[in-house]
């Protein structure tokens, strides 16, 4: 399992649990698991994160490990992910730097990857496994998230 470096505990204490999930409970797992097999059809991401609020100074772009993003799945599920770290499937270390994070996310969207598994990190955080033809390609460890339905995809 991957040990999530998100460190969002303090920030999450300040956010309402009614708005964001911060623990992968059985109920939260069931809500997410229905989207296993859904394909990524769009995404939006920011080169910052709510987790930055916990730091005295946000990391330099080339040192960034944590971002916030929205993932749009073909089953009309919108996953709003906060304090997300990205791992290539064959790595135990998170991607570092905005350029590497952006490349991984563009590859995720362009390859029509599907959500292959909803899992949990060693520290109990949500981990979403994406792959192509059931071969894992990218793992996203998440500090907090919400699930809703989308009406239209974001513009490019």
CA atoms within 13 A on the CB side of 36: 14
Over residues 113-127, mean pLDDT: 93
- 103 within some domain: yes
% pLDDT > 90, the chain? 65
DSSP states of 57-106: SPPPGGG---EEEEEEETTSEEEEEEEEEEEETT-SS---SHHHHHHHHH
Instruction: Give the model's pLDDT for residue 6.
Output: 54
Taking the C-alpha atoms of residue 7 and residue 50, their distance in angstroms, rounded to an integer, is: 11
List pLDDT tens digits, range 5-31. Answer: 555 454 444 444 447 898 899 999 999
List pLDDT tens digits, range 27-46. Answer: 999 999 999 999 999 999 98
Band (pLDDT 50/70/90 cuts) for residue 52 is confident
- 4 within some domain: no
Band (pLDDT 50/70/90 cuts) for residue 124 is confident
- 155 within some domain: no
Average pLDDT value for the chain: 87
Over residues 73-81, mean pLDDT: 96
Structure tokens at 41: 């059809």
67 has a pLDDT exceeding 90: yes
Please give the tally of structural domains in the chain: 1
- 94 within some domain: yes
- 3 within some domain: no
Instruction: Give the model's pLDDT for residue 18.
Output: 45
- 39 within some domain: yes
Structure tokens at 101: 């994070």
118 lies in which domain range?
9-149
Instruction: Give the model's pLDDT for residue 69.
Output: 95
Beta bridge partners of 119: 127
- 154 within some domain: no
Torsion from C-alpha of 38, 43, 48, 49, nearest 10 degrees: -30
Please indicate whether residue 111 or residue 124 has the higher confidence score (pLDDT).
Answer: 111
Which H/E stretch holds residue 147? strand 144-149
- 2 within some domain: no
Q: How far, CA to CA in Å, does 4 sit from each of 52, 61, 76, 78, 137?
A: 16, 20, 27, 22, 17
């Amino acid at each position: 399992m991957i040990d999530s470096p998100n460190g969002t505990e303090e920030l999450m204490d300040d956010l309402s649990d009614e708005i964001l999930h911060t623990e992968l409970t059985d109920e939260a797992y069931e809500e997410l698991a229905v989207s296993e097999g859904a394909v990524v059809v769009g995404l939006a991401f920011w080169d910052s994160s709510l987790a930055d609020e916990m730091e005295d100074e946000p990391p330099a772009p080339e040192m960034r490990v944590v971002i916030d993003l929205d993932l749009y799945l073909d089953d009309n599920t919108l996953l709003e992910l906060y304090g997300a770290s990205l791992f290539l499937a064959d790595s135990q270390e998170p991607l570092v730097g905005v350029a590497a994070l952006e490349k991984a996310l563009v590859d995720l969207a362009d390859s029509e990857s599907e959500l292959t598994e909803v899992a949990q990190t060693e520290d109990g955080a949500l981990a979403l496994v994406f792959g192509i033809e059931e071969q894992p390609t990218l793992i996203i460890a998440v500090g907090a998230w919400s699930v809703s339905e989308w009406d239209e995809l974001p513009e490019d």
